[in-house]
Structure 1
Amino acid sequence: MVSLILIGLIGGVLTSLSPCIIPVLPLVLAVSAGDKRRPYYVVAGMVVSFAAITLSGSIVLNLLGLPQDTVRWVGIGLLVLVGLGMLIPVLGEWVQAPFDRLPRLHALLTKAQGRGGFVVGLALGAVYVPCAGPVLAAITVAAATGEIDTSIIALTIAFAIGAAIPLSMFALGGNRMSDWFRSHHTAFRRSAGAVVIAMAVLLAVDAPTALQRLVPDWTSSAQQALGNHIIGNQDLESCRKGDPGTPHDCGPVPQLSRLENWINTDQAIDPATSGKVTLVDFWAYACINCQRANEHVVKLYDHYKDYGLDVIGVHAPEYAFERDADNVRKAIVAQHIKYPVAQDNSFATWKNFHNRYWPAHYLADHTGRLRQVHEGEGKYAETERVVRQLLQERNPGIALPNPIEQDEHAITEPRSPETYLGASRSQYRVSGTPPLGYYALQGEWDVNPMDITPRSDGAAVELHYQARWVQLVASGRGTVTVKRADGTEQTFDITGDGTVDIIRKDNGDPELITIAPSPGVHLYSITFG
C-alpha cells in the first residue's frame, strides 16, 4: 500500500508538471480569478478528471485479463520510456504523438463556461488529459493490481493529491508563478525524467514489495485496535488463542473474496453454503513450513473427503514468482494436492480472515460457522479430533475411519530459523566465519530488497545451520553448487522459480556449508526442516 501511495503521489505531481500542461495555465488562471475559493474548486475538478483516468485504466486492464507479471513489466518499460522522453525532447515528442491524436472535447469546456469552478475544472481536465497521457498510462499500468480494491483507491487518492499540489500553486500564485514555471520548464522536465527512471528501477528490483512488508509491522497495533471493532472479529481473535483440540464458536466464516484460477475443481466453493465441514488453508508453495504442513492436510483430506470434509487451499504469494498460475499448478502436482486450490494474489481473502501467517487454517462446520483457528505448523492430531467432532455433528450416525494422526508429545530437534537473504528482511548475516544460525557472503553480490544475486563466479553463501532438511528458495536460470563440511560437492540445476532441496540427512547435527550460485541465479531465503 505504501508503494502505491508513493507511485500515485509522484505520478500526480509529474502529470501536473508535464510540459504540455503549459497551455492549460492561462485558463486555470482565468477561471480562478474573482473568488478566493474558486481556485480550489477548479483544481479539484481537474484532479478528479485526472484521477478518473487512473481508475478507468485499472478497469480496462482487469477486462483484458493480462498476466500480472506482463502488466508489471510493460508498466516499468513505459516508465523508462516516459523518463527518457522527458530527458530527450525528440523522443518525448514521439512518445506524446499517439496521445496528441486523441480527441480533445473542447465542447465540454464551452458548455462549462459560466458554471461553478468545480464543473469548469472537470471540463479542463477532460480536455487536457491527453497531453499527460504517457505519464498517466505508465503510472496506471505499472501500479495496477487489476482490480478495484483499497489499493487502487489509495493509488487514485494519492494521484489526486499529487496532481493538486502544482495546480493549486499555479491557481493561487497567479501569473508570476506561471511565468516562472514557463522559464524553468526544461529543468523541471529533466528532473521529472530522472525521477521517473528512478521509479522504474525501484519497481524493477521489487523495492515496493519490501515497503509493503514493513508496513504491517509498523501498524500492527493500530490494525488490531481497528479490527476489534469489526463485527465477529473479537470471536475470531479469541479463537486464535483457544485450545485447538476443542471446537469453539468463532462467528460466521469470512467471505472468500476475489479468488482466481481455481484448480482441482470446476467451480468455486463457498464454505458458508457448501453444507460440508471445510478447512480453509492459507499457504504459499515456496514456504517450507507450508510444505511440511501440507503433507498433513493432504493426508487429512484424503482420509475424510468421502465423509463430508472439504479443504480449500488459499494460495497467497510470499514472493513475486509465486503469483504465477503455472508455478502454482506445478507445485500442486509436486506436493500431491488433490483438494481445490485458488489464488489470492490480491490478498483480499487473506484480509477478510485477518490472517497473519503462512501456514494457517480455519475450520468451518457444515452450517458455515468457524469452529477452530490454528496458525503455523503442528497440532495435527488436535485438528483431526475437531474435524471428527464436526463430521459427527453434521451426520450423528456416521461411522468414521480410525484416526491417522498421533498426539504430539515427542521432543522436537532444534533447527535453524528461516533465513531471508534480501536486504529488507535479513537478520542473520555476519562478517567472517558465521556462528551457528548465521550466514556470511563471500565474493561480490548484488543485494536487493528481496533477494541476492552473484556479480561474478566465486561468490558464495557460507551457512552455519542445524537441521535435517535444508531448502533454498531461488529463481532464474543456472546452477547452485553446495559444498558440505566433509568436502563433498553437489550441483543443482535451477530451471524455474521456487524451492530446491539442497540437503537431506538422517540427523540434525550442526554443519558449516557453502552455497555457490552461478551468475543469473537469484537467492531469496533458506529454510530448514
Structure 2
Amino acid sequence: MMKRRELKFVLGLAVVAAGAAIAVTLSDKPGSFSMSPAIARSEAAELSPPLNALLQTTTWLNAPPLTPQDLRGKVVLVNFWTYSCINCVRTLPYLRAWAEKYRAEGLVVVSIHTPEFAFEKVPDNVTRALHQLDVPYRVAQDNDFRLWHAFGNRGWPAFYFIGADGAVAHEQLGEGDYEASEARIQALLKEAGSLKVALPITPIAGSGAQAAPDLATLGSGETYIGYGQASGFASPESFASDRTRTYTLPDNPWVNEWGLGGDWLVGAEFATSSAPQSSIAYRFHARDLHLVMAPASPEKPIRFRVTLDGKAPGADHGADTDPQGWGTLDADRLYQLVRQSAEVTDRTFRIAFEEPGVRAYAFTFG
C-alpha cells in the first residue's frame, strides 16, 4: 500500500559541483546537521546522478552529511517516507534490520523525509519522531521536494535500490514484498563483491503501530478531514470552509462514513476543534484505526477519550489509549487508537476531546 502525491512536473537531476571542500557544521536544531551545497567537482564527478543528488542535500538528521566516500562503491537503499504516514511507519522494522544486518557488507540506508503535512516540515518534530520510532540511520529533510523530484518519486513509502555502479537497479512503491527486497539487497551486494551475503532471509516483525497490517480484514482506507481532500463526510451540516460551525454527529453512518460533533473550524488540510467536548465519529472495518492529530499548542496537552460502539474499548484499545479509552494528545503525530483483539467487525469509533485546540488531519487503518 502507498500514499500517492500528484505531481504536475518532475524535475531532472540537478548536479551542482563547485570547487570547494565539504563543510560540516552543527545547526541550532538538536540532532540536525547542515552542509555547504558546494561539493568538490573532482570528488563528485565519478558518482552517478542519483548519488550526486543525495550529496547536494543540505539538512541531515541523526548523522553528518553524506560524503562521496560514504557512497562510492556501496550498495545504497534510498527510502522516501514521512513520519505520520502509517504505510511508512510499518516499513521501519525492515529498514532497521537491513541496515544493521548488511552494514558491514557495504549497504548504506538513506532515508528521505519528504513531508505531507505542514507540521512534518519542522525539524524538531521530525527529530522527536526519529527517537520515538527508533530510526538509527541517516535521514535527510526534503521540505522543498528537491530529492523527491530528482528521483521522479510518486508516493510514500518508496524504495530505490542503487547498485555499486551508482545506477538505480530497482524501485518499489508501497509497503510489502519484503523477502524479495532483501533478496535484491543480497544480489546487489554480491555483485559488489561481498562474500558474506548468503544470510538467511528471516521474518521481521514490528510491534504497536509498526506491526504489519491485517490485509485480509482491511475494509477502510485513508480518509482526510480537511476539506481539500475529504471524503465520506456524513454530518447533516455541510462544511463551512475556513470558518467555525457547530456540527452534529451522524446518527447511523454507513461503513467508511464519518462526521464531526461540536464546534469545529474546517480548513483545507485539517479541522480544528473550537470548544470542549468536540468529537469525531467514524464507522470503519479494520483491525487498527489511527488518527493523525496535533495540539494547537505543544505546551498544553489535551486529554481525549475513545469509545467503540458507545463503550470503552477494553482489549481493543490501541497503543495510544488505555482499556478505558483515555489518551493524551501531546505531539504532532499519528496516534494508534484502536487495535481489535478478536474478530474484526464493523465498529463505530468516537473520540471526544476535553479541551479545544485539537487539529485533526487524517484517519488511516491497518
Measured after TM superposition, the shift of residue 258 of structure 1 is 4.9
Counterpart Cα distance in 1 of 2:233 and 2:61:
39
- 1:418 is matched with which residue? 222
- Check whether the contact 1:252–1:370 (CA below 8 A) recurs between aligned residues: no
- Check whether the contact 1:279–1:310 (CA below 8 A) recurs between aligned residues: yes
Unaligned runs of 5+ in 2: 14-47, 205-211, 236-249, 296-300, 313-323
- 1:502 is matched with which residue? 337
- Pick aligned residue for 1:516 from 341, 352, 357: 352
Q: Deviations over 1:348-396 (max 9, x none)?
A: 1111011111111111011111011001111111111110100110115
1:526 aligns with 2:342: no
1:404 aligns with 2:202: yes
- Check whether the contact 1:363–1:373 (CA below 8 A) recurs between aligned residues: yes
- 1:338 is matched with which residue? 136
1:307 aligns with 2:126: no
CA 1:262–1:277 in 2, change beyond 3 Å: closer, same or farther?
Answer: same
CA 1:405–1:479 in 2, change beyond 3 Å: closer, same or farther?
Answer: same
- 2:121 is matched with which residue? 323
- Pick aligned residue for 1:483 from 303, 307, 316: 307
Measured after TM superposition, the shift of residue 261 of structure 1 is 3.3
CA 1:411–1:442 in 2, change beyond 3 Å: closer, same or farther?
Answer: closer
- Check whether the contact 1:470–1:526 (CA below 8 A) recurs between aligned residues: yes
Q: Aligned letter for 2:362? A: S
Q: Aligned letter for 1:528? A: F
- Check whether the contact 2:305–2:327 (CA below 8 A) recurs between aligned residues: yes
TM-score (norm 2): 0.72
Measured after TM superposition, the shift of residue 413 of structure 1 is 2.8
- Pick aligned residue for 1:387 from 182, 185, 191: 185
Bigger proportion of residues as strand: 2
1:291 aligns with 2:89: yes
CA 1:393–1:405 in 2, change beyond 3 Å: closer, same or farther?
Answer: farther
- Check whether the contact 2:113–2:141 (CA below 8 A) recurs between aligned residues: yes
1:443 aligns with 2:262: yes
Measured after TM superposition, the shift of residue 270 of structure 1 is 5.4
Counterpart Cα distance in 2 of 1:289 and 1:318:
13
CA 1:386–1:252 in 2, change beyond 3 Å: closer, same or farther?
Answer: farther
Question: Superposed, which structure 2 residues align to 1:4-83 within 5 Å?
Answer: none
- Check whether the contact 1:258–1:349 (CA below 8 A) recurs between aligned residues: no
- Check whether the contact 2:284–2:348 (CA below 8 A) recurs between aligned residues: yes
- 1:462 is matched with which residue? 281
SS in 2 for 1:326: helix
CA 1:258–1:347 in 2, change beyond 3 Å: closer, same or farther?
Answer: farther
Counterpart Cα distance in 2 of 1:415 and 1:366:
41
- Check whether the contact 2:105–2:194 (CA below 8 A) recurs between aligned residues: no
Bigger proportion of residues as helix: 1
Counterpart Cα distance in 2 of 1:456 and 1:396:
61
- 2:34 is matched with which residue? none
CA 1:314–1:411 in 2, change beyond 3 Å: closer, same or farther?
Answer: closer
Q: Deviations over 1:306-361 (max 9, x none)?
A: 22111000001111111111211121122221111110111111110111111111
Q: Aligned letter for 1:492? A: G
CA 1:444–1:267 in 2, change beyond 3 Å: closer, same or farther?
Answer: closer
- Check whether the contact 1:479–1:521 (CA below 8 A) recurs between aligned residues: no
Stretch deviating more after TM superposition (445-454 or 251-260): 251-260
SS in 1 for 2:226: coil
Unaligned runs of 5+ in 1: 1-213, 232-250
Q: Aligned letter for 1:347? A: F
- Check whether the contact 1:260–1:344 (CA below 8 A) recurs between aligned residues: no
State the superposition RMSD in angstroms.
2.7
TM-score (norm 1): 0.51
Q: Aligned letter for 1:445? A: W
Counterpart Cα distance in 2 of 1:258 and 1:451:
33
Counterpart Cα distance in 1 of 2:310 and 2:263:
25
Q: Aligned letter for 1:417? A: G
1:474 aligns with 2:293: yes
Question: Superposed, which structure 2 residues align to 1:114-129 within 5 Å?
Answer: none
Measured after TM superposition, the shift of residue 446 of structure 1 is 0.8
Measured after TM superposition, the shift of residue 256 of structure 1 is 2.2
Question: Superposed, which structure 2 residues align to 1:182-261 within 5 Å?
Answer: 217=6, 220=8, 223=9, 253=50, 255-256=53-54, 258-261=56-59
Aligned residues: 288
CA 1:363–1:496 in 2, change beyond 3 Å: closer, same or farther?
Answer: same
- Check whether the contact 1:256–1:352 (CA below 8 A) recurs between aligned residues: no
Counterpart Cα distance in 2 of 1:260 and 1:424:
31
- Check whether the contact 2:186–2:197 (CA below 8 A) recurs between aligned residues: no
